Amino acid sequence: MDIIADNAIPAFLESTQLIVELDSVDIYNNIIFPVQAKEYDINPQVEVPYDLEKEKRDQQSVDEGHSPWRLDPLFTTQVFVSTQISPGGIEGEYPIEEGNLKLLYSTKDTAVVEVNDSDTSIKYVYLKRLVKQDPSGIWTVIGYDTIDK
């Protein structure tokens, strides 16, 4: 998705058929639909351990309005990779810019994000919705691949 203009609206489709009706073609000249394979090999080089009970508490916290960034796989990846660079905490801007992240694959419970940033050796981040498998579910990093895979 390298051709995204300022007026881009991200859309996620889960269907084997694609029917598009446009009322405002003059506003949105380019529509880009990412192509997804039916199955994606989720086999991270480095597995990230997680505690399901903690994820359930985090989900409850998000349900109460806290940490809404956990609902976005790109933002969750940005925070994860940034904390890998700065394990002591992040002050100011994130070391990984959002523009250096690309959503490669997304279903209702699985996502893969590509990282293109020279500040890290992390290349692909694998995420899952462990607690709720719907749009209100938080994303959890379950693993990643490095550039040298």
Pick the residue with more confidence: 45 or 87?
45
Please give the model's pTM, rounded to 2 decimal places. 0.73
Provide the 10 A C-beta neighbour count for residue 6.
Answer: 4
Q: What is the mean pLDDT of residues 54-70?
A: 96
Residue 11 in this model has a pLDDT that exceeds 80: no
Contact (CB, 8 A) for 110 and 40: yes
Q: Give me the pLDDT at residue 92, please.
A: 82
> Strand order in 101-106's β-sheet?
46-47, 140-146, 122-128, 110-115, 101-106
Q: Give me the pLDDT at residue 90, please.
A: 81
